[in-house]
Amino acid sequence: MAYTVKQVAEMSGVSVRALHFYDEVGLLKPAYHAANGYRLYEEPQLLTLQQILFYRELGFELKQIRSMLSQPDFDKIAALESHRKVLRKNLAHTRKLIETIDKTIQHLKGTKRMKSQELFEGFDPKEQAKHEQYLIDRYGECMKESIAQSKARVKHWTKRDWAKSGAAFDGICKDLVKAMGQALPPDSTEVQAVVRRHCEWLKQFWTPKHESYAGHGQFIVDSDLRKAYETHDPRLPEFAAAAIKIFAERELA
């Protein structure tokens, strides 16, 4: 049975725009095109899309996924077994976090007292430290100051503060996607004006400088942070990084 791109989008949760992009970059080609030009997908393509989503869930970049899936010896069953092992390992961690949430709810309702140390069961400070060290190793000592600034500035933030910041970020991303749709280059006046807003938005957390802001742009591309941008458009991480690099060179000391 063949499915249209709209049907595949509805059953998978992947946007039509993303499926078109996957086709353009050679990550997921349709089985064939109908006489009217519509992309049509069959079971092999659906299974490949499932693999793409598994790998994305595990934090792989699209270019890494394309490289793996294009290997002549790629084994779908072996890949699924590998995914299963990783997910089972993560499941124990997730269950621990759920237990902590349930205990905290009971604690706040007054139905069950909770020890102070139980508030943090399931969280791994080693992973956070590892993430911070990655930033320092990749982008230099300048990141230490940025990390410290970020922790200090959001220490007393409320849910309302986070919601306001999130709304501002979404607005920036939407305007960048709009610029992409108009085929505006990263160095255009319009795009650079949006990047200036992005730079100002970041100042809530740390003070961007030439090296650290350019590094942040590349970090968007190379890390899990890209997911926040890909939600708006799969091409946005690379576009934003290019525009940020230009802004850093022109505007920041």
Q: Both 131 and 240 in a single domain? A: yes
Q: 203 pLDDT band (50/70/90 cuts)?
A: confident
Last residue of a domain, one of 29, 47, 69: 69
What share of the chain has pLDDT > 90, as a percent? 32
Phi, psi torsion values for 40, nearest 5 degrees: -125, 135
Query: What range defines the domain where residue 88 resides?
Result: 76-120
Q: Both 130 and 217 in a single domain? A: yes
> Cα separation of 154 and 11, whole Å?
38
Please report the DSSP string for 57-88 in residue order. Answer: HTT--HHHHHHHHT-TT--HHHHHHHHHHHHH
Q: Both 85 and 52 in a single domain? A: no
Burial tier of 219 (Cβ tally within 10 Å: 0-12, 13-18, 19+):
buried
Lowest-confidence range among 19-28, 116-125, 214-223, 244-253?
116-125
Residue 33 host element (H or E): strand 32-33
Query: How far out from the chain centre does Cα 117 lie?
Result: 31
Q: Both 115 and 190 in a single domain? A: no
Structure tokens at 106: 């009971």
The enclosing domain of 11 has a CATH number of: 1.10.1660.10
Q: Both 155 and 134 in a single domain? A: yes
Q: Both 218 and 154 in a single domain? A: yes
* Per-residue pLDDT tens over the stretch 28-77: 999 999 999 999 999 999 999 998 888 887 777 788 888 888 888 888 78
CA-based nearest residue to 54, from 86, 10, 11, 27: 86
Task: Give the total number of structural domains in the chain.
Answer: 3
Q: Both 184 and 82 in a single domain? A: no
pTM of the model: 0.50
Q: 134 pLDDT band (50/70/90 cuts)?
A: low
The reported pLDDT for the residue numbered 126 is 56
Structure tokens at 52: 């793409």
* Per-residue pLDDT tens over the stretch 135-163: 677 666 766 776 777 777 777 878 788 88
> Cα separation of 235 and 153, whole Å?
30
Last residue of a domain, one of 89, 120, 151: 120
Q: Both 155 and 212 in a single domain? A: yes
The reported pLDDT for the residue numbered 116 is 47
* Per-residue pLDDT tens over the stretch 204-226: 887 888 888 888 888 888 877 78
Q: Both 169 and 139 in a single domain? A: yes
Q: How far apart are the first and last CA of the chain?
A: 58
Over residues 76-92, mean pLDDT: 76
Q: Both 41 and 81 in a single domain? A: no
